[in-house]
Amino acid sequence: MTTGGPDTDFLVLPPRPDSTAELLAAAARRRGLAVEQLPGPVVPDRLRQSAGGHLYGGPVFAGTVAADLGLALLEPDDGWLTRLPYEYTRRDITLTTLGEARWSRTPMFVKPPRDKHLPAAVYADGSRLPGDERLPADTPVLVSDIVTFLVEYRLFVLDGAVHAASRYATGGRLDPAPLDACRHRDAVLDFAEDLLDAHADSLPSAVVVDVGLASDADRGEEHWAVVEANMAWFSTAYAADPDRVLDVVLRAAGPCGRLAARDRAFRKR
């Protein structure tokens, strides 16, 4: 473990780092950043005095330690997908609550906007949605038409441009590969450029956007569409270049004192 201090930029990892956290830790050390793997949710006093903290980890861990570390966590707005023009989504999407979604009697795809507290899946109707004390009726969810994605890509976006990317699924199954090795590379980048040219201002300066090639069986067509947007500090890198992924993560979860004015609206409360 490399020890950080008041005048040293450092990357904080959770008690049980995943493979992406380990790749980012190695990338951080290569550029001279200190790495701190916390044994629990308590931030050591020596790190509370620092103004150079960054973080990679899940929302529960991040929410517990962010204030003590003086971090500004960037996240897309819950309703971002619902406000995109149809040409970018190719499906109707509604931001509602779990309680309202339970009244639906038609098949639908349901996912949480950001935190992964609810399995993103196709549900035959609202009665099939889970319900317990961890998922109250006012839990926000995105409800959309059911779309079949043939192939899906993860884009790490920095300052309105794709900074790192990876394929992550084919036919709904995990299938990571570097974007440069994929036959859809140019199509992905063209679609992303068009999307970000028009809508980068509605996203944090450091964010993850997933896109995919969707199949419209009724019309016999295929088209590119946005899958979702996510927090970069809680997104799997898959086969993307970890050094470039780290660039996005450092901005997405960095010191409050370095928060740009344009990102204030995207700071996690």
Q: With bands split at pLDDT 50, 70 and 90, how would you rate the model's confidence at 5?
A: very low
pLDDT tens-digit series, residues 215-229: 876 666 899 999 999
Whether the CB-CB separation of 54 and 249 falls below 8 Å is answered with yes
Structure tokens that stand for 220 in this block = 């016999």
Residue 79: alpha-carbon gap to chain centroid: 14
Through-space distance between the first and last CA atoms of the chain, rounded to whole angstroms: 30
The answer on pLDDT for 7 being more than 70 is no
pLDDT tens-digit series, residues 136-186: 888 888 888 888 999 999 999 999 999 999 999 999 999 999 999 999 999
How far is Cα 40 from Cα 221, in angstroms, rounded to an integer?
Answer: 50
Structure tokens that stand for 6 in this block = 């008041």
How far is Cα 170 from Cα 237, in angstroms, rounded to an integer?
Answer: 16
Quote the crossing angle between the two packed helices 242-252 and 19-30, to the nearest 10°: 90
Tallying the residues shown for the chain, one arrives at 269
Whether the CB-CB separation of 101 and 74 falls below 8 Å is answered with no
With the C-alpha atoms ordered 24, 29, 31, 32, is the resulting torsion angle positive or negative?
positive
For residue 243, with 0-12 CB atoms within 10 Å meaning exposed, 13-18 middle and 19 or more buried, which class applies? middle
Which pLDDT does position 117 carry in this prediction? 73
Q: With bands split at pLDDT 50, 70 and 90, how would you rate the model's confidence at 25?
A: very high
Ordered by start, the domain boundaries in the chain are 93-144
Average pLDDT, the chain: 91
